[in-house]
Structure 1
Amino acid sequence: MTVSRRDPLPRRFLRIAWSSVATQMAEQVALVAVPLAAVLSLGAGATETALLHVAQTLPFLVLALPFGLVIDRSSPQRVLIASEVLRAATLGAIVVLITLDSLSMGALLGLGCLGAIGTVGVSVSVPSAVPRLVTSDRLIDANRWLELGRSAAFICGPVIAGAIVSAAGAGTALVVATIACVAAAALLVRLDIPRSVPSAGGSAWRAAAHGVRYVLGHHLLRPMIVTSTIFNVGWFLIQSVFVVYAVDRLGMTATTVGIAMGAYGAGMVIGALLVPPLSRRFRLGAMTVLGPGGGFVAAVPMGITLWTPAPALAFASFFLFGFGPVIWTISTTSLRQAVTPAPMIGRVSSLVVVSTYGARPLGAGMGVAISAGFGMEWCIAVAVVVFAAQLVTVLSSALPAVRELPAAPTPASR
């Protein structure tokens, strides 16, 4: 039976979707509050904030694939709950240190790295759970719902964080983030994710290697990975220095920094809302090009701030960074879930997480080196070149030629 577009998504999916909204809200509040705590309370500069981004993203590079193996051999539910508890505990620890006036840069780096382990678990588990909770013909609807929730968090989280930090300090903002993590975990406790995927057998190393070979040998998955990696190197090259750049170069305050980052979420919402009409007008392959194209177009106004330091250009840049890439995320996530064999969904999702998040410490690390050696302005200039490279990558791949989402996943693989 064909499912109507107007039929509601399954209640089990909606529970994980609302949990995702809460966890994304916590992450966005923390991403603003923690660097602001470092800058305003500890006097951190561009190099220190870039190191903080490295610590918060390095676990994605190291632990995403092991998480994918665990999920392929079990259910994502336990990983999700444990991850949210870990995130809440680390955020709560930072609050305690701030309250006791014992916060140090070393503590922020260590706790940021530990909390990021929980974020890895959530990031791998959610896309792995979606095909177990909805039918293949509802994948785009489900992923669009998730992206709309994430977009709302990207709008509200930074603005709320900036306002709270200005009014009551970073500690209060992190209390809000901790509560959001606890709420996300509570929503997951009674979630029933079916174990419809057969457990992967054999050596863990062999299973991991098989997943890597499958992705790198796939004509659609490989360019997704490469494009996503390059995009996120450029994105975190900007993110690693943006707070300091915005305050020192653009004359922005904590509140306007939050508003600028919130513009990213506004772009995501509008992009996600436009997916249905765009998908009716354009083939799926064209939709995948809109994200990398939007990333390059977004980098241009940020580059212009090197000569014209206007906050309005930063607002426009963040809006465009949200608009195009969210269309990429919805389109490529649905395509990935459709073409991936069911027993491998965790490993494939984990490799996408590596490309999406694992590239971030590379970008942040470049930010450390470039800002320390040449100045933070060069981070912005190099990022524009990186975003041009990811657009060239996707245009030269097989992705633009894809006409529509496959009707059903490919047969199971080992």
Structure 2
Amino acid sequence: MALRDRVPPLLRERTFRRYWTGQTVSLAGDQISLMAIPLAAVLVLGADAAAMGWLKTVELLPALLLNLPFGAWADRQTSRRRAMVATDIGRAALVLSLPVAYALDALTLTQLYVVAFGVGALTVLFEACNTTLFVALVPPDQYVQANSLVNGSRSTAWLAGPGAGGLLVQFLTAPFALVADAVTYLVSAGYLARIKTVEPPPAPVVKGHFTEGLRWVVREPSMRALFAASGTVQFFNYMFHTLFVLYVTVELGLGAGMLGLVLATGAVGGLLGAVCSGAVVRRLGIGGALVAGFLGFTLPLLLVPLAGGPLPVLVGVLFLAEFLSCIGVMVVDVAAGSFQMALIPDAVRARVMGAFRTLNHGFRPLGALVGGLLGTAIGLRSTLWIATVGAAFAVLWLLPSPLPWMRELPTRDEEPVPVRKTA
């Protein structure tokens, strides 16, 4: 078999390949900042559990405040791609401000909060536009394959990014490690600028435009169930992630390099999950894959608060938890992303996804804040028990809905979405 024949068909197409390459590079940079920013707070500025909770909260607050207005804005644009290029450049500038401030001995927690909020806001705008660009590039019968490729990139980023981030922090200090993240945003902007495609036409400005996406989510029973399950996971999982770096480095005594290796080794599971997700969907159906993915994502994290003992045992338990959980999260992401792409009409796509992310990702800052407060009040390990057990119960929202019994992707309704016109 020729090497070209081994390449997935979508990656043989230049436009999608540019899109995928930009996403891959940017996702790798995100993983570096995911390590470097909290480590800068802990190791450089001496942040405690409450400060870490506030840092994660301001990073995620834009998802709660801005998904609806940015989704409404994106549905009215003729070129979402240009907006995505601008957000990449803006995120690079914000991230670069941190090593500059550190070099001038002026870095503060306040600046970390401001940069975290700004990067979060631009990321919300990027994702609001990204959904529509994705469906312009990918035919419906290739949604699962395309989502597998993009999520495979995310897994590869999880594999390489934390390890690289931990090593960069080890040798360059946390603030200077962020230079690499800024470069990845600029590379992503360069690839996006070279994409040429015909995007869905902008939606007309009519009465009810702003809230139509929210009403659509509430009306659709499968989306309601998916929202409830995802929102529950997001809340408890961000309680978990807010304290994970602090717990592993302070309470368990692992260094930044070992933490990066734990996350990188766990990401091997994510890569495996992305590769196998198409087969899981074919075997279990789209609904069965969602249920299996939610369970596979949440149950292994119960091992984290159990971790202890000699260093090899401790590290092995953390490796296993990350490995298995990352398999599950990739199956969820591929199945849920493909389901949403197939179900949502183009005319309201950015607004529906904006509403879904507002309802769903809006739980993230709440979980981060509660995690920080509980970690201070009752301790890190006890809070991690609450977070991991709570997340495992999220799958119960799916069971009474039509989702578990769906075998195939739904057929999207292309009829105009009813809205009230302005006078």
Aligned to 1:28: 31
CA spacing shift, 1:396–1:325, aligned 2, 3 Å: farther
Tell me which residue corresponds to 1:52: 55
The answer to whether the Cα contact below 8 Å between 2:168 and 2:177 also exists between their aligned partners in 1 is: yes
Determine if contact 1:71/1:125 at 8 Å carries over to the other structure: yes
Which of 263, 274, 277 is matched with 2:265 structurally? 263
Question: Counterpart of 1:64 in 2: which secondary structure?
Answer: helix
What is residue 351 of structure 1 aligned with on the other side?
A: 355
The answer for the alignment partner of 1:293 in structure 2 is 295
Say whether the 8 Å CA contact 2:148–2:278 is kept in structure 1. no
Contact 1:215 1:221 in 2 (8 A): yes
Q: Which of the numbers 335, 342, 346 marks the counterpart of 1:342?
A: 346
Q: Which amino acid aligns with 1:112?
A: A
Aligned CA distance change for structure 1 residues 7 and 314 (closer, same or farther; 3 Å): closer
SS at match of 1:368: helix
1:408 and 1:212 map into 2 onto residues whose CA distance is 18
What is the distance in 2 between the residues matched to 1:358 and 1:70? 19
Contact 1:290 1:325 in 2 (8 A): no
Distance change in 2, residues 1:312/1:124 (3 Å): farther
Deviation for aligned residue 1:220: 1.3
Q: Give the Cα separation in 2 of the matches to 1:159 and 1:355.
A: 32
Determine the C-alpha separation between the residues in 1 that align with 2:271 and 2:302. Answer: 21
Query: Which residue, out of 84, 88, 104, partners 1:100?
Result: 104
Q: What stretches of structure 2 of length at least 5 have no aligned partner?
A: 1-6, 419-423
Give the Cα separation in 1 of the matches to 2:355 and 2:318. 31
Cα distance, 1:280–1:46 mapped onto 2, change above 3 Å? same
User: Are the structure 2 counterparts of residues 6 and 265 from structure 1 closer, same or farther at C-alpha, using a change threshold of 3 Å?
Assistant: closer
The answer for the alignment partner of 1:14 in structure 2 is 17
List per-residue Cα deviations over 1:391-410 (Å, max 9, x = no partner). Answer: 21122322101111135554
- Spell out, residue by residue over 1:269-316, the C-alpha distance to the aligned partner (whole angstroms, 9 max, x if none): 100111232233221110011221012312221232379992322222
Partner of 2:421: none
Residue in structure 2 matched with residue 38 of structure 1 by the alignment: 41
CA–CA distance in structure 1, aligned partners of residues 366 and 31 of structure 2: 20
Against the structure 1 CA distance between its residues 186 and 363, is the aligned structure 2 distance closer, same or farther, given a 3 Å change threshold? same
State the TM-score, normalizing by the size of structure 2: 0.91
Give the partner amino acid of 2:41: A
Are positions 1:182 and 2:186 aligned together? Answer: yes
* Matched-pair contact (CA < 8 Å) for 1:296–1:391: no
Distance in 1 separating the partners of 2:359 and 2:300:
20
**Given the superposition, is the C-alpha separation of residues 76 and 264 from structure 1 closer, same or farther in structure 2, using an over 3 Å criterion?**
farther
Corresponding residue of 2:84: 80
Instruction: Tell me the alpha carbon deviations over residues 339-393 of structure 1, each in whole angstroms, 9 at most, x when there is no partner.
Output: 1111111112223333453221111011121012222222201112211221211
| Aligned-pair CA distance for 1:338 | 0.9
2:171 partner SS? helix
Q: d(CA) in 1 for partners of 2:263 and 2:362?
A: 21
Query: What residue identity is the alignment partner of 2:258?
Result: T
| Paired residues of 2:300 and 2:324 also in contact (CA < 8 A) | yes
Residue aligning to 1:361: 365
CA gap of 1:41–1:136, structure 2 versus 1, over 3 A, is same
2: CA distance, partners of 1:154 / 1:123: 19
The whole-number CA distance in structure 2 between the counterparts of 1:303 and 1:43 is 23
Query: CA-atom RMSD, angstroms?
Result: 1.9
- In structure 2, the partner of 1:140 is 144
Aligned partner of 2:135 among 131, 135, 159: 131
User: Is 1:403 matched with 2:410?
Assistant: no
Question: Of residues 114, 117, 120 in structure 1, which corresponds to 2:121?
Answer: 117
1:311 aligned partner: 315
Q: CA deviation at 1:192?
A: 2.4
Task: Verify: 1:192 aligned to 2:196, yes or no.
Answer: yes
Per the TM alignment, residue 152 of structure 1 is displaced from its structure 2 partner at its CA by: 0.8
2:175 match: 171
Percent identity between the two aligned chains: 27
What secondary structure sits across from 2:210 in the alignment?
Answer: helix
Pick the aligned partner of 2:215 from 210, 213, 216: 213
Task: Write the deviation string for residues 183-232 of structure 1: whole angstroms up to 9, x where unpaired.
Answer: 111111122242323423214xx222221111111011111111111111
Shift, 1:254, TM fit: 0.2
- Return the letter of the residue paired with 1:378: S
Alignment of 1:205-244 (within 5 A): 206-244=208-246
User: Amino acid of the residue matched to residue 11 of structure 1?
Assistant: R
Mapped partners of 1:93, 1:324: distance in 2: 36
In 2, distance between residues paired with 1:356 and 1:153? 23
